[in-house]
Chain A
C-alpha cells in the first residue's frame, strides 16, 4: 500500500496568513493526488484534484502543487471559514490512502 506522510499534524494561524501543508507519498503517484477539507460533523469536501486542479466553486486562495512523491496545499490569505482539518489523498492505486490530516486552528 502507498503510505502518505502529511505534515504538520496541526498548526496555529491567523486570518490573512499564508499556510502550506505538505504530503509525501511512499512511492510516485503521478498526478493522482487530491486535497479535502473537513469541518467538525461534516463530510469531507473536495478542494483540489489531479495535484493542482481546483474543484468547481472552491476559492482561488487554495492551490496545489507537486509531482511524483511530494505535494503541497497552500492557502493564501486565510479566512475564518478555512479553519478546518485538511487531508491529502492518493488515488493512483488501491488501496486508496489518505494522509493523517492537518488541523488548522486559530
Chain B
C-alpha cells in the first residue's frame, strides 16, 4: 500500500524550531519529487515547499523562504521539513504529498501532523 506518514508536530514557542518527518512506503520514494502543504485551522490549503527526487532543486513559498528547509534521505525513505524562526501564523496541519510520475500533480498525501506556535 502506498503510504505517507508525517510526524514531529508539536506545540512550540514563537521563534522556536521544529523538524517534521514524512515516512514513505509502498512505492519507489527515490524516484518521486515531494511537497509539503499546510492548512491553518479553518482555512484553505497552502503549498509550502518542493524538492526533486535527487534533492537537486528546491522551491519555497515566499511566506517560509529563509526560515524553512526541505530535505530528504532516499536511503531511509524519509522527507523532512526543518522549520526555524516559527511564527504564530505557521500554526497549521502540515501534509507531505507525493508528485506523481505520469503527471506532476500531488497524487498521494499523508494524514498530516499538527504544528502549533504559541507562547
- Within 8 Å of chain B (Cβ to Cβ): is A8? no
State the main secondary structure of chain B at its contact with A.
Answer: strand
Q: Contact at B110–A43, with CB atoms within 8 Å?
A: yes
Nearest B residue to A98, CB-CB: B45
Contact code string B42-54 (vs A, CB < 8 Å = 1, else 0)? 0011110010000
State the main secondary structure of chain A at its contact with B.
Answer: loop
**Nearest 7 A-B pairs (CB), nearest first?**
A96-B47, A49-B105, A43-B109, A98-B45, A94-B59, A101-B44, A34-B105
Nearest A residue to B63, CB-CB: A95
Interface size, chain B (Cβ < 8 Å): 22
9 pairs, A vs B, C-beta closer than 8 Å: A34-B106, A42-B111, A43-B111, A89-B105, A91-B104, A91-B105, A94-B50, A96-B47, A98-B44
Q: Contact at A97–B47, with CB atoms within 8 Å?
A: yes
Contact code string B1-45 (vs A, CB < 8 Å = 1, else 0)? 000000000000000000000000000000000010100000011
In the complex, chain B residues whose CB is within 8 Å of the CB of A101 = 44-45
- Within 8 Å of chain B (Cβ to Cβ): is A44? yes
Nearest B residue to A33, CB-CB: B105
In the complex, chain A residues whose CB is within 8 Å of the CB of B101 = none
A-B contact count (CB 8 A): 57
Q: Contact at A44–B109, with CB atoms within 8 Å?
A: yes
Interface set of A (CB-CB < 8 Å, partner B): 1, 32, 34, 36, 38, 42-46, 49-50, 53, 55, 87, 89, 91, 94-101
Q: Contact at A95–B62, with CB atoms within 8 Å?
A: yes
Contact code string B83-119 (vs A, CB < 8 Å = 1, else 0)? 0000000000001000010011111111110000000
Q: Contact at A87–B44, with CB atoms within 8 Å?
A: yes
Known: A43-B112, A96-B47, A98-B44. A55 touches B107 (CB 8 A): yes
In the complex, chain B residues whose CB is within 8 Å of the CB of A53 = 103
In the complex, chain B residues whose CB is within 8 Å of the CB of A96 = 35, 47, 50
| A105 smallest CB distance to B (angstroms) | 15
Q: Contact at A98–B47, with CB atoms within 8 Å?
A: yes
How far, in angstroms, from A32 to B109 measured CA to CA in the complex? Answer: 18
Known: A43-B109, A43-B110, A43-B111. A95 touches B47 (CB 8 A): yes
